Amino acid sequence: MGQSPAGVTRRTIARVMKRARIRAGIKSGAAARHADISPGTLTKYEKAENPWPVPVVYVLSEYYGLSTEDRDKLVNLARQKELGWWHRHRDIPEWFESYVGLESEAHTVLNFEDGIIPGLLQTADYARAIFTSDVDAGSDEQVEAHLTVRLERQRRLTGDSPLKLHAVINESALYRNVGGVDVMRDQLAALLDRAELPNVDLRVLPFEAGAHAASEGSFVIMQFPDLLEDVSFDDVVLVEYRAGAVYLEKDHEIELFSRIFQRIQSQALSPEESVKLIQRIRSERFEE
């Protein structure tokens, strides 16, 4: 899957087991009775709120008709107790822990950012300036914890089985002077470097595009690999707001945001034209 099992265990099992149950046409109440647990307990397992006990995974995998090989994959995951790396940072919000967990499982991220540089492409100084501008920034220690998590997330762009990132940035984000001229000069240079990665598709939505389908704001679509041959994962859409985030997983919601992303990507400059625009803005606005 391209990442260590420690980062995906609980959420991966939850998603696989729920999809396997639905595919088998088994109601949650019947599954709970078969495993000799309460329906509420199964719900917590399927929402990844509680870790899956090995016996429950074993019993339900067979009940759902999974193969011996797939059952053993899930049982082995259930035996791994280590939490994901992001759980070491207790200063990040609970809703963002969920996002990092999902992102760690995804093989592709589609991201539209309306006003700032996408988090996966931010430099440390740019990110720090964003964090400290927040009215609820917290202590210096909390800011640094947020920064550490953000930089750790970026490792997936250059590691083994790198994350595929398709990013569309509103042109206004390239002009906003976040952190000062030096910070922006380095940030735009970093964008140019990242744009050279084969797994990064970076495009700028220019002012000339006029009205566009994503005028209501930024969003992220995460796409996932299949752990089991016959159990696929649906995409998940994240829409962040001031006090947290909303996760959208219904078919019509995913289809809507997928169409929005396709539309703004088609309205954006090509990757090559985007690079030229970033170079020009950097030269004209942020060079000494």
pLDDT digits (tens, 9 = 90+) for 17-66: 998 999 899 999 999 999 999 999 999 999 888 888 999 999 999 999 99
pLDDT at 229 over 90: no
Write down the H helix ranges in 3-53: 9-23, 28-35, 39-46
Q: Is the pLDDT higher at 93 or at 138?
A: 138
Q: What is the mean pLDDT of the chain?
A: 88
pLDDT, position 7: 37
238 and 172 in a common domain: yes
pLDDT at 95 over 80: no
φ, ψ at 178 (rounded to 5°): -90, 115
195 and 269 in a common domain: yes
Grade residue 9 by pLDDT with cuts at 50, 70 and 90. Answer: low
163 and 71 in a common domain: no
Q: Which residues pair with 109 in a beta bridge?
A: 165, 222
pLDDT at 3 over 60: no
118 and 51 in a common domain: no
pLDDT at 202 over 50: yes
pLDDT, position 157: 96
pLDDT, position 1: 31
Rounded CA gap, 66 and 63, in Å?
8
Q: Is the pLDDT higher at 187 or at 231?
A: 187
Report the SS3 class of residue 245: strand
74 and 127 in a common domain: no
269 and 166 in a common domain: yes
pLDDT at 254 over 50: yes
pLDDT, position 230: 62
CATH of the domain at 40: 1.10.260.40
What is the total count of domains within the chain?
2
Q: Which of these three, 65, 83, 101, is where a domain ends?
A: 83
The C-alpha angle with vertex 215 and arms to 213 and 217, in degrees rounded to 5, equals: 115
132 and 22 in a common domain: no
pTM above 0.85, yes or no: no
User: What pairing do the DSSP bridges indicate for beta strands 200-205 and 244-248?
Assistant: unpaired
pLDDT at 170 over 90: yes
Rounded CA gap, 241 and 174, in Å?
22
pLDDT, position 119: 95
At position 241, the amino acid (one-letter code) is Y
Rounded CA gap, 69 and 227, in Å?
12
157 and 27 in a common domain: no
273 and 185 in a common domain: yes
pLDDT, position 249: 81
CATH of the domain at 191: 3.30.870
Q: Which of these three, 83, 117, 143, is where a domain ends?
A: 83
pLDDT at 6 over 50: no
259 and 140 in a common domain: yes
92 and 77 in a common domain: no
157 and 19 in a common domain: no
What ranges make up the beta strands (E) of the chain?
108-113, 164-170, 200-205, 219-223, 236-241, 244-248
Grade residue 104 by pLDDT with cuts at 50, 70 and 90. Answer: confident
Domain that holds residue 10: 5-83
Grade residue 256 by pLDDT with cuts at 50, 70 and 90. Answer: very high
Q: Which of these three, 35, 58, 83, is where a domain ends?
A: 83
